Amino acid sequence: MNNTRHEEFREYVTARERVLMRTALQLTGDRADAEDLLQAALAKTYLAWDRIQDRAAMDGYVRRAMVNTQISWWRRRKLEIYPTDELPDSPVDDHTRRSELHDALHRALRRLPERQRLAVILRYYEDMPEAEIAEALGISVGTVKSTVSRAMAKLREDTGLGTDFKIPPQLPER
């Protein structure tokens, strides 16, 4: 009987998976969450398979399992969220904005004259002190300072980021 149960359940899932997935998507609004929800509901349905007498009502049973599971997940998430009147000190990491910034910075760096570009890369990406940069480029420390200063002003202007602009820790790969 156990093998028959398994085959009946497999046939049911194969026949109804698309319809049930649409219901799960409507409940969650997200494909990955919908897949998890449907999986959890089908697991509960499989465990109760022998107790469900009316096979025609199987979709209703699975839908009810999805709704109950979604409500449980929602309640659990709700308990994990702690509202506060104060915002956290560190902002949420915005990967898209960071990627756009890296692209803009990369383009702006390419537009710099070679000595300015080298000075900025050595100073901020290689974290070299000004004396080492001066030695590597064959210029004075004062020239390194003024070159980096002019380059940073140009980068601020080209990227439109203003005086708060800081070079990110890694040069965008291209």
The two structure tokens encoding residue 73: 């997940």
- For residues 46 and 26, what is the distance between their CA atoms, to the nearest angstrom? 22
Which of 53, 80, 107 lies at the terminal end of a domain, its last residue? 80
- The phi, psi pair for 169, rounded to 5°, reads -65, -20
103 and 63, same structural domain?
Answer: no
Residue 90 lies in a domain: no
CB 147 within 8 A of CB 124: no
- 144 vs 128: CA distance, rounded Å: 11
Please name the amino acid found at residue 123: R
Nearest to 144 by CA among 127, 157, 161, 129: 129
Which helix or strand (DSSP H or E) is residue 46 part of?
A: helix 31-47
Q: How many CB atoms lie within 10 A of CB 28?
A: 19
Same domain for 102 and 76? Answer: no
Distance in angstroms between the alpha carbons of the first and the last residue of the chain: 61
Domains contained in the chain, number: 2
CATH code of the domain covering residue 12: 1.10.1740.10
pLDDT truncated to tens, each residue of the chain (174 aa)?
467 888 989 999 999 999 999 989 888 888 999 999 999 999 999 998 888 888 788 888 899 999 989 888 877 766 556 667 776 666 556 666 667 777 777 888 888 888 888 888 888 877 889 998 998 888 999 999 999 999 988 888 887 766 655 665 554 443
Give the span between the Cα atoms of 154 and 152, in whole angstroms: 5
Specify whether 76 is located in the same domain as 101.
no
Q: Rounded to whole angstroms, how far apart are CA atoms 28 and 14?
A: 21
Query: Is there a domain that residue 169 lies in?
Result: no
Range of the domain at 9: 2-80
Q: Is residue 40 part of a domain?
A: yes
Is pTM, for the whole model, over 0.75?
no
| CATH label of the domain that carries residue 153 | 1.10.10.10
Same domain assignment for residues 35 and 104: no
